[in-house]
Every structure is written in C-alpha cells, then in structure tokens.
Structure 1
Amino acid sequence: MRPLDGIRVLDFSRVLAGPMATQILADYGAEVTKVERPGTGDESRTFEPHFQDGPSAYYSAFNRGKRSIALDLKSPEGRKLAFDLAAGTDVVVENFLPGEMAKYGLDYAALSAVNPGLVYVSNTGFGQSGPYRNRKGYDTIFQALSGAIDLTGQPDGPPAKVGLPFADLTSGLWIAISVLTGLMGRAQSGRGTHVDLSMMDVQVSLLGLPAARYFALGETPTRTGTGHLGRVPSAAYACRDGGWLFISASDQHWEPLCAELGLDALLADAELARNRHRVRRRDAVEAALREAIAARDRAELAEALRARGVPAGEVNTVPEILNDPHTQAREMIDHFDVPGRGATPGLRNPALLSGWDAARFSPPPQLGEHSRQILSKELDLTEDEIDALFRKGAVA
C-alpha cells in the first residue's frame, strides 16, 4: 500500500513541469492517466537524448508509472471521452494557455459542475490573469524575466542561465504541492478547488533573499559567481590539481579553517572572527583563502576540512555524483524494464516514507498503450463502441 493509493489523476500536461508533478504522484501510488494527442503524443517523446534502442530519456525521466490514452480533443467524441474520464477523477492537471480548456468544454467550471470535489490545477506560464496571461514561455524565458539569469554568473561576466531547467523543475514541485494541498482541503471541506499556478509567480516567489535585500536596503542584487553576499567564506575555490572545492563557513568554522590552511595572520586578527567583518573585508580575506587553497589537492583538503568540522564539498560533475558512494548507498538510481531493451536507469524520488510500500518505479507508457483498457473498464464501453471510436480517429 502506498500513501496515494486510490487517488486518480487525469494529466493533460506536456513536456516537463506538469509531467514531473504527476510522476511524483504516480510514484507514491496515484493512478495517473496521461491524455495525449494521437500520432505524436507528448512532444517530449521525441526529445533528445534517447536510450540506445529505446525511448527518449527526457520523456522517461518524467513519465514513469503512468497510463496513456490518446484522445483527439478536436473531435466531439474525443472531448466527450475526456469529459467522462474527468467526471470520475480526483485531480486534473493541465498546462494549456488560459481559455484553451474552456474551448474543449474541459475547464474547471464545466467539470466541477458534475464533479464538485475535483482538484483542478491550471499550470500556465503567466497565470489566468494579468497583462501577460496570453504570452507563451519556456523555462529560460521565466529564468530571464524573474531575475534568476541576472543573478547568475561571474561578477565581471555576462548573465547566465541556471544549469538545470530551474523554472520547470520548481514549478513541477509547486504543482505537486498544490495537488496535495487541494486534496487535504477537500478531505476537510468536501469541496474541490481550482489552482491558478503561474510559472512566473513560482520564480518570483523564489526571490526571497534577493528581495529581502531590496526591501531592506533598496539594493539591486548583482551576480556574485559562486560567492555569497552575506557570508565569507562561501564560494568555490580552485585547488592545485585543477579540481574545485566549495567551502561555506560560519563563525564557528573560522578558527579550524584558518588553522588547516595555515592562515595565522587571519586567525590572529580578532575582528575577522565575526562574519560581518569578513564580509566588509571580503577582497583581502578571499585573496588569502584562494592562495592557500590553490596549494592543496582537492580530495586531501576536503577530507582534512571535514575532519575539523568545516563544511566542504567537492564541485562534482554529473557522472561523479551519480557514481558517488553515498548516492549509491541511498539507492537514488533505480531501474525499470523497457520491452525489448531491459533494465533502464532513472532517478527515484527522494522522499522515503516509513510504514508504506516503496515508491513505484515502473516504465513510462507507450503512446495510447492503455486506451482500450481505460475505455472498457472505466467508461464501460463495449468492444464495438471502442472499435468505432478508433475508426473515427477520436481515440488511438
């Protein structure tokens, strides 16, 4: 038994944020039915990279454990099937532009009239209101508009995007949070809800610390590379062997850090025992740290600092962290079986819940793999009725 067993989710979303959220729900037990376009399906099915002799690794990363039904929402029959499925579900997730689902008769107003307990999440770029509501956007557009790109990069260099699809991933988490919040609210009140979730709003909400500097100081935060505006040291430092080591030290770590690096002059300066003074004298302190660290090899220095209780972390490549013994011990990499290919790796969700069966980790569906099963078992259609819908192209 898993914590979301019995929860049914109808997923109209595509590409990343919505599919990521519904995969989280599926892993923890929800029955997620992915509604896709006949013929092409979710466009991420074609995205690179692909496993050798297998599916898109991009698609597989966000669509595990779901069922797929291919419906033509432009046909009246396809729309009716989608409506009938939504009438019996707990959650709908969609990422169409505002007003698009209403054109299909699948908006919250229409569905909640027959399913008042429905939790309906509309994940759009800019929300259901506001002057930008009809704009289209992608992850990097939201990163740019929100200020994330302006805050990223070296102080003397151009702005840079975050190395991950940051806006999509954080929005995916907020979709999952919204679904779970809506379900908890329904358990208390019996009522469903419509969640207006803007990816742009999600990015603005993440500006807590830069916004605090603006609110408190009237300051426009700037790029700091790997440094931290409010803490010294907190940055990545180049080591003798070419590796980089991130050190983030508070006041209690200052003495052991200086002792390990042989920075007797800094240690003798009583004022530098306080972070606020180190921040004020950032350039001199950082220069001394860089020189001392550049004389040490990364692995040796990292272990020495950790032995003294100083927080230090190697700046790993992706292969390094995926093959790290702690990642392996935590079993963050799991495998699902792809027909004709066998065991295929992927990353599991991080939350380990005691007292429940392990999170599901099963393969993503083939396009329309479950169409007949869903129409038969959930809508009680006969084989002749299903065959007729296939012939019309309303379902595939």
Structure 2
Amino acid sequence: MTRPLENITILDLSRVLACPFASMILAELGATVIKVEQPGAGDETRSFEPQVEGEGGTESAYYMAFNRSKQSITVNLRSPEGQELVRKLSAQADVVLENFPVGTLKRYGLDYARLSEHNPGLVYVSCTGFGMTGPYAPRKGYDTVFQAMGGIMSLTGERGGGPVKPGLPVADLTSGLWVAIAILSSLMGRHATGKGCHVDFSMFDGQVGLLSLAAARFFALGEVPPRLGTEHPGRVPSAAFRCRDGKWVQVTGSDQHWKPLCDLLGLHDWAEDPALSRNIERVRRREEVMAALSAAIGQLDRDEFCRLCDAAKVPAGPILNVDEVLTNEHVLARGMVREFDHPQVGAFKAVPVPFKFSGYDDPSLARPPLLGEHTDQVLAGRLGMTREQIAALRDKQVI
C-alpha cells in the first residue's frame, strides 16, 4: 500500500506555524515537501523556545512540532541566482506554498503569474494576514491579533470578565487546516480540469469563517453573544462543573439525557418535570438549573461521576491537563503519541496526524530535517546540477 499523496510535490516557502503545519500534514500523508529556508538561520522557529538538548546538539521543540517529514534546502531568495533556483524547482512542483507579506515574492519574480508561465498546472497558495486585497491588505498580524479581530477572543472568558485567548494558537492552527483544505481541493480541481490556480487565503478570513454558530445567532436574532465561560449559549446543560475532589468535568446533554442525568444525581423531581424536559425551558431557567446541577455534581468525585454518566449514557468527560491527555489509555491505544529519532536530540515524542486509513498506509511520522540537509540532494537530483555548480553557489552564499 501507499499513502494518498505519494505523487505530490510541494515547494514550501513558508515559515513559523500556520503554513508549516499544513505542509507537515500533507507530508505525512505522503507528499514530498521541500522546505526552502534562509541560509545560516533557517525558519526563525529553529531559535524558538523550548530548546531540546541532546548529545548531538540542540533543536527547537517548536520547530520540530510543525516540520516533521520534510526535506530542507537553503536558498537566499534575495539573490537572483536563488530566485532562479526556486523558479526551476517550481516548474517541477505541484504546489507552491508561501506566507510572505503581500507583494514580496512579486518583487522577487516568484509570484503566481511568473511561476505559472512555465507550470500552468501549478497550485500556488498565498497565506497572508489579511489577504491580497481589501483595506487591511498591507497590515501585519500574528495569531492573537487574528483571534482578537476575528471574534473568538470576544467570545472566550468567564461571565462578566474580560476577553481571554484560548490556550493554543487557534488562529495559526486552524489557518493551517484551512490551507491544507485549499491545497487538496485545488489539486482535485486540477485533476478534473488540468488547470492550476492561485489561492488567496487570509488568516483573518479564516477566523471569520469559524464564527459559524455565533454568526448564525447574530443573523437570526441580532444577538452579540456574551462571554459564558464553558456554558453554551443555546443549550443547558453544557458546561464545566467542579467536583468534590476539586477536579472538573464537562457535561453536555440534549433532551434525551436530561432525565438520566437528574436520576443519577438524585434530582428525581426535576427528572419528572415535563417543562424541564425541554431544552428551551432549561435555557430560560439557566441560573436555577445550573445552580442545582453544580451543587449536586459537587457532591461527587470526578471519576465517580464520569462512571455514573457513562453507565447512564450521559455525555460527560473529565477536563484533562496536557500531561493527563498524553498519558491517557485511550490516547495511547489509538497511537496518538509516537516517537521519532533525531540525530541531535535522540528519541523525541510527537503527536501524529490523526487519521487511520483502510486501503492506504496510515500517515507517517518522520523526524524534521536539519537545516539545509537536502540541498545538495535536491539540486542534483531535481535540477541535474553538478557538485562543482553546487559548490559555486555555496561559495556565493546563494545556498
């Protein structure tokens, strides 16, 4: 068997998180990803904390989290010779992925219009903060800026409190998923038509695109959703509850779960109340219902309560810390913690791409590349360059 993207080549000019995350997913699904890095320094995340020390040197855990299974070449994109190398490599590629500021690669002669002249089937994805057009196109931004402007931060936080960012770089991570979707859909379109395309993806657009339910409530009700902590604006119960042992549990139930939840908590009068059997009434009486549930759940230890919910088929789950997640029996049984061997730091654990295939091999998990590790191999194997030609480019600091 093979992996589904075995015959796809991606020339990855991107750096930091969102696009490297996308290209890593596709690499582990079988694509050949050639990551182009700056000579001497590489992707700036190679210097990011935390640094992992090993017998052979150090490497950034941040870099390793988003750059597994790729090849690394070093090319100075500011030099005409380096630009020509990228043009030649792009002529053989299926995809070019970049996240430079708007207009940068056009100045280098590496924009879609130029590269597609010699490769009309090329899929070229530009990931920028605010897109190639619109009044914000020149603006700079980072993950938290897009979270703030895209609405998610306004929705996150406790009742009456200030806005809170999620504990993960949600704008970066979801942008990586959007980019992967864009690449795969464009490749499918090319398969049907033979034509490539340019994808203009804005990370700000990506966050607006996630508003989904909040947008639907605004369009339907004119509602600007308030911060509700872990509670759901249109469903009760759906919230985190503190248990007797100080641990937390998330309960999310629909109408069919209301009676069994009340019964297991000893709230039998509520279980038989026909009005409370309907979510619309529980939402109307939110404060009363949440107070009673909080008091009842607070009389039980978390694991005991979860066992009772499982037995009654009430959807509930413990709120696990990262260490608990990564040692959880189900996570381990599903193979969601794996390991690669790195020449500098040795064995290092990682979270794999979460697909299980029947008919294809499952996604791989290979180590990230050393800086420029594959430069000679790629230039010789793909462009037919001799050792002398490669050495001359290195002497001129092109690679």
TM-score calculated relative to the size of structure 2: 0.98
- Aligned partners of 1:289, 1:38: CA distance in 2, in Å? 59
Instruction: Tell me the equivalent position of 1:17.
Output: 18
Instruction: Tell me the equivalent position of 1:211.
Output: 215
Instruction: Tell me the equivalent position of 1:273.
Output: 277
Shift of 1:245: 0.7
Task: Please show how residues 166-185 of structure 1 align to structure 2 within 5 Å.
Answer: 166-185=170-189
SS of the equivalent of 1:194 reads strand
- Aligned partners of 2:326, 2:52: CA distance in 1, in Å? 17
1:6 and 2:12 aligned:
no
Asked if 1 retains the 8 angstrom alpha-carbon contact of 2:52 and 2:345, the reply is: no
AA paired with 2:40?
G
Asked if 1 retains the 8 angstrom alpha-carbon contact of 2:88 and 2:383, the reply is: yes
SS of the equivalent of 1:270 reads coil
1:377 and 2:377 aligned:
no
- Aligned partners of 2:362, 2:260: CA distance in 1, in Å? 42
Instruction: Tell me the equivalent position of 2:143.
Output: 139
In structure 2, runs of 5+ residues without a counterpart are none
AA paired with 2:141?
G
SS of the equivalent of 1:385 reads helix
1:152 and 2:156 aligned:
yes
Shift of 1:352: 1.2
1:199-220 C-alpha deviation (Å, 9 max, x unpaired): 0001001111111111111111
Which sits farther off after the overlay, 261-270 or 345-354?
261-270
Identical pairs, percent: 55
Instruction: Tell me the equivalent position of 1:51.
Output: 52
Shift of 1:317: 0.2
Task: Please show how residues 295-334 of structure 1 align to structure 2 within 5 Å.
Answer: 295-334=299-338
Shift of 1:268: 3.3
- Aligned partners of 2:179, 2:346: CA distance in 1, in Å? 32
Task: Please show how residues 173-322 of structure 1 align to structure 2 within 5 Å.
Answer: 173-322=177-326
Asked if 1 retains the 8 angstrom alpha-carbon contact of 2:260 and 2:271, the reply is: no
Shift of 1:355: 1.4
AA paired with 2:276?
L
AA paired with 2:12?
D
- Aligned partners of 1:271, 1:208: CA distance in 2, in Å? 29
Which sits farther off after the overlay, 260-269 or 345-354?
260-269
Shift of 1:52: 3.0
Instruction: Tell me the equivalent position of 2:35.
Output: 34
Instruction: Tell me the equivalent position of 1:60.
Output: 64
AA paired with 1:345?
K
Shift of 1:316: 0.4
- Aligned partners of 1:339, 1:57: CA distance in 2, in Å? 14
Q: 1:85 aligns with which of 89, 96, 107?
A: 89
SS of the equivalent of 1:40 reads coil
Instruction: Tell me the equivalent position of 1:113.
Output: 117
Shift of 1:373: 0.8
SS of the equivalent of 1:144 reads helix
Shift of 1:291: 0.5
AA paired with 2:15?
R
Shift of 1:157: 1.1
Asked if 1 retains the 8 angstrom alpha-carbon contact of 2:242 and 2:249, the reply is: yes
- Aligned partners of 2:76, 2:144: CA distance in 1, in Å? 30
1:94-136 C-alpha deviation (Å, 9 max, x unpaired): 0011111101100000001110000000000100000000111
1:95 and 2:99 aligned:
yes
Asked if 1 retains the 8 angstrom alpha-carbon contact of 2:259 and 2:272, the reply is: no
SS of the equivalent of 1:195 reads strand
- Aligned partners of 1:329, 1:360: CA distance in 2, in Å? 17
Structure 1 segments (4+ residues) deviating >6 Å: none
Which sits farther off after the overlay, 338-347 or 74-83?
338-347
Shift of 1:342: 2.4
- Aligned partners of 1:341, 1:109: CA distance in 2, in Å? 42
- Aligned partners of 1:341, 1:181: CA distance in 2, in Å? 37
1:79-103 C-alpha deviation (Å, 9 max, x unpaired): 1111111111100000011111101
Shift of 1:351: 1.1
AA paired with 1:5?
E
Shift of 1:340: 4.2
SS of the equivalent of 2:383 reads coil
